[in-house]
C-alpha cells in the first residue's frame, strides 16, 4: 500500500490496521505512526476530527505530516495541531 493509499484508508477507517511496504508509516485503529510507536503522527479523536502532531523528527516524517494534513482536509476532517 502506498503512503497515499494508507493515509486514505486511515481516514476512512476501513480496516483496523495498515502499513506501507517499508513499514515507515502505519496505523493501528485510530492512531497513525511514523517510524514506530514512539512517534504518533495523528490520532482520530472523534468522527471527522483528528489531532496531528506538531513534533518534528525527520525530513521523511515532515513529508508524512504534510500528506496527512492534506488528506485530512480533503476528507473533511476538523484538524487540531498539538504535540503528541
CA distance 76 to 26: 21
CA distance 6 to 4: 5
The pTM of this model reads 0.91
Task: Kindly report the average pLDDT of the chain as a whole number.
Answer: 94
Q: In what order do the strands lie in the sheet with 25-28?
A: 17-19, 25-28, 31-34, 40-46, 49-53, 78-82
**What band does 59 get if pLDDT is binned at 50, 70 and 90?**
confident
Three-state secondary-structure class, residue 23: coil
Per-residue pLDDT tens over the stretch 62-77: 889 999 999 999 999 9
Q: Which domain holds residue 59?
A: 3-82
Contact 55, 39 (CB under 8 A): yes
CA distance 29 to 63: 22
CA distance 13 to 6: 10
Amino acid at each position: 500500500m502506498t503512503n497515499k493509499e494508507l493515509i486514505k484508508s486511515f481516514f476512512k477507517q476501513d480496516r483496523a490496521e495498515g502499513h506501507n511496504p517499508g513499514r515507515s508509516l502505519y496505523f493501528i485503529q485510530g492512531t497513525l505512526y511514523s517510524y514506530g510507536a514512539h512517534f504518533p503522527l495523528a490520532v482520530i479523536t472523534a468522527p471527522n476530527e483528528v489531532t496531528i502532531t506538531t513534533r518534528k523528527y525527520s525530513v521523511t516524517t515532515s513529508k508524512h505530516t504534510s500528506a496527512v494534513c492534506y488528506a485530512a482536509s480533503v476528507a473533511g476532517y476538523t484538524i487540531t495541531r498539538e504535540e503528541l
